[in-house]
Structure 1
Amino acid sequence: MARDQIDMTPLQSRDELVAWLEAGVKPPSEFRIGTEHEKTPFTLEGHHPVPYEGAKGIGALLEGMQLLLGWEPIMERGNIIGLYDVTGGGAISLEPGGQFELSGAPVETVHQTQSELMAHLAQVREIATPLGIGFLGLGMTPSWSRKQIPVMPKGRYKIMSSYMPKVGQYGLDMMFRTCTVQTNLDFSSEADMVKKLRVSVALQPVATALFANSPFTEGRPNGFLTFRSEIWRDTDNARSGMIPWAFEDGMGFERWVDYALDVPMYFVKRGDEYIDVSGSSFRAFFDGKNPAFPGERPTLSDWANHLSTIFPEVRLKRYLEMRGADGVPWGRLPALPAFWVGLLYDDDTLNAAWDLVSHWNAYERQALRDDVPRLGFKARIRDRYLFEVARECLKLSHAGLRRRNRVDHSGRDESRFLEPLERILDCGRTPAEEMLEKYQGAWGGSVEPAYQEYAF
């Protein structure tokens, strides 16, 4: 969630950084599920990007949402850039190209995730429809060039925009043209965190294939099933990827801190000001050697903000974030938290999932990750197609959700939210392949119908 943390206590020792992460440990009775999803706004007329300014812009949309919800506005230099629900903990924020993100409140069941999502979509529609704005549920904008996309008025994005082209070819595409759905989950101890992290990093390509949903760039097939996932392979490899060291002996909170200390920073925030320190490490800042702040030490806020600019396939904060999935239409969104909750929140399933991946080595995991954007279910690891691994994972997840046995008012457990994924495996094709078939057939070689069929 792109809401900056405020805690201006200067840091004295590395132990404080470790303690900050450790504070995420919770008993299983307090485990929660957080779901974040991004969607691309477009003008209902003409399917163009939506600017921030103006009577029908993103700023007006946020102001309307604020009036409707009564949430606290998040302001930057006089512009409304997000909303925060003080009571529930949810938030709405803007990604660089206007992608509209709901960071859901921490909830207990996937049923609640679904209710939250339905309420959010009803509220957004109520404000957006009169403004002539719709939202698209794809992993990447299917028809716009980067030049067409308006920039949101957030200081951190200016700094990232000038730094990104120095460290990879796709950073600006990631910022301005992609959407994801993400699930955030808890851990009960350091050992539990490590096991969940390893299982979910190894199996992230399964989620990537199941949610693969970005086969078009600027109106044409781009040769990938999830170009969004391909983009992450060359965005900024110092802060993304399959973190092979997390599988080595000695992995724990301290090891993550040591990794994060060496990841180059983007910015330091002081008051409303974003100060560009891009390229210098947090470790140098910690030693009082940040070029913009000679002799000064970072604060806990600086640390929390820095951790939110690290983008591996699974990210550790005070919870674990699953980051491998494309944004999808609303009917499929609750499937992502359901999939990971089933795998990670039931001990028997977690152990079975670890048995499935524990013998894969770093090279094999990386090769699978590299192949999945283009090949989807046809990617291989050892002698197996990813399709078979995905089927096994879905079976495990289903069993985990059944055992969890959190039922709704009609007595149904959370495994019902896996149905869209079961349908995908039944037909043996990723969502992107289905879309490409429509493009070649019923859509007549145009991506325009996506703005109806994949809209929220």
Structure 2
Amino acid sequence: MNAALARVDVAGTFPGGSRITLEPGGQLELSSRSAVSLAGCVEAMATDLTVLREAVESAGLILVGTGLDPYREPPRILDHSRYRAMEKFFDREGPAGPVMMRSTASVQINPNDGDESHSYSGFRYRWELAHRVGPVLVAAFANSPILDGWHPSAGRPACSGLLRAPDQGGQDPARNRRMPRTLRGPRGLSPGQTATASTRSQGLS
């Protein structure tokens, strides 16, 4: 992996201007630059992903776009204070947090939070919309059908490729869950408060 990263860890390597970082379990995260349109963002990311894929393949490796590592339980390879603190916190709730840190990958979408209006460009509308379409996006892009080497179709209960999704709720139950209806929508935010819609880089789970 280090040989592959050395090929792209040079300014100007990615024509779309993306930045590459390493996640706790060795996942590669490719972060695009801000774009004025979704189409422009997707085009730039596709170009840079091609460059990354070629660099990885030249080192004898292959990128796998899946939401959950189906076979391994990789150790945490980054010793940053941030990740030590995260792991200590998540350990109190069980294995879901460490699994998310070391064995999962996804696509993160970070749109602007919006303006003060009550129309589709306002943060109130976007906050509500993010919660409404979240389950739909999870189902539409489900890409984690295998866990610990088995597939749901092999005599196990079918789960439609969503083995990564249940992991999200076990990381931090107090915060990582769907908000109650009474706390969502225009009346759930104070004046001037902003919110961003996000889903979490290699294949949405």
TM-score by length of 1: 0.38
Contact 1:181 1:326 survives alignment (8 Å): yes
Q: Distance in 2 between matches of 1:129 and 1:324?
A: 25
Which protein has the larger Cα radius of gyration, Structure 1 or Structure 2? 1
Q: Distance in 2 between matches of 1:210 and 1:326?
A: 15
Residue 232 to residue 326, structure 1, CA distance change in 2 (3 Å): farther
Residue 176 to residue 325, structure 1, CA distance change in 2 (3 Å): closer
1:215 aligns with 2:158: no
Unaligned runs of 5+ in 2: none
Q: Distance in 1 between matches of 2:102 and 2:87?
A: 10
Q: Distance in 1 between matches of 2:11 and 2:201?
A: 30
| Alpha-carbon offset, residue 110 of structure 1 | 3.0
Of 65, 71, 74, the residue aligned with 1:137 is 65
SS at match of 2:70: coil
1:322 aligns with 2:173: no
Q: In the alignment, which residue of structure 2 is the partner of 1:185?
A: 111
Q: Distance in 2 between matches of 1:227 and 1:118?
A: 26
Q: Distance in 2 between matches of 1:251 and 1:130?
A: 50
Q: Distance in 1 between matches of 2:94 and 2:176?
A: 11
Residue 109 to residue 234, structure 1, CA distance change in 2 (3 Å): same
Q: Distance in 2 between matches of 1:247 and 1:68?
A: 42
Q: In the alignment, which residue of structure 1 is the partner of 2:89?
A: 163
Percent of pairs with identical residues: 24
Of 215, 221, 234, the residue aligned with 2:170 is 234
| Alpha-carbon offset, residue 113 of structure 1 | 2.2
Q: Distance in 2 between matches of 1:92 and 1:326?
A: 12
Per-residue CA shift, 1:312-347, capped at 9, x if unaligned? xxxx3xxx232179925xxxxxxxxxxxxxxxxxxx
Per-residue CA shift, 1:369-405, capped at 9, x if unaligned? xxxxxxxxxxxxxxxxxxxxxxxxxxxxxxxxxxxxx
TM-score by length of 2: 0.80
Q: In the alignment, which residue of structure 2 is the partner of 1:249?
A: 187
Question: Which amino acid in 2 is paired with 1:243?
Answer: M
Residue 253 to residue 137, structure 1, CA distance change in 2 (3 Å): farther
- Please tell me the root mean square deviation across aligned C-alpha atoms, in Å: 2.9
Question: Which amino acid in 2 is paired with 1:158?
Answer: R
Contact 2:4 2:58 survives alignment (8 Å): no
Q: In the alignment, which residue of structure 1 is the partner of 2:47?
A: 119
Q: Distance in 1 between matches of 2:117 and 2:8?
A: 39
Q: Distance in 2 between matches of 1:103 and 1:324?
A: 12
What does 1:411-422 align with in structure 2 at a 5 Å threshold? none
| Alpha-carbon offset, residue 115 of structure 1 | 2.2
SS at match of 1:182: coil
Question: Which amino acid in 2 is paired with 1:185?
Answer: P
Q: Which has the higher helix share?
A: 1
Residue 220 to residue 116, structure 1, CA distance change in 2 (3 Å): same
SS at match of 2:135: helix
1:65 aligns with 2:65: no
| Alpha-carbon offset, residue 171 of structure 1 | 0.6
Q: Distance in 2 between matches of 1:190 and 1:93?
A: 36
SS at match of 1:121: helix
Q: In the alignment, which residue of structure 2 is the partner of 1:199?
A: 129
Q: Distance in 2 between matches of 1:101 and 1:119?
A: 15
What does 1:39-438 align with in structure 2 at a 5 Å threshold? 57=1, 59-67=2-10, 69=12, 90-144=18-72, 146=73, 148-186=74-112, 187-189=114-116, 191=118, 192-221=122-151, 223=157, 224=159, 225-244=161-180, 245-247=183-185, 249-252=187-190, 316=195, 320-323=196-199, 327-328=203-204
Contact 1:213 1:326 survives alignment (8 Å): no
Residue 199 to residue 108, structure 1, CA distance change in 2 (3 Å): same
Number of matched residues? 193
Q: Distance in 2 between matches of 1:326 and 1:253?
A: 36
Per-residue CA shift, 1:280-330, capped at 9, x if unaligned? xxxxxxxxxxxxxxxxxxxxxxxxxxxxxxxxxxxx3xxx232179925xx
| Alpha-carbon offset, residue 168 of structure 1 | 4.1
Deviates more, 1:120-129 or 1:171-180: 120-129
Q: Distance in 2 between matches of 1:254 and 1:238?
A: 25
Contact 1:139 1:178 survives alignment (8 Å): yes
The structure, 1 or 2, with the larger RCO (C-alpha pairs under 8 Å, 6+ apart) is 2
Unaligned runs of 5+ in 1: 1-56, 72-84, 257-315, 329-431, 433-456
Question: Which amino acid in 2 is paired with 1:249?
Answer: R
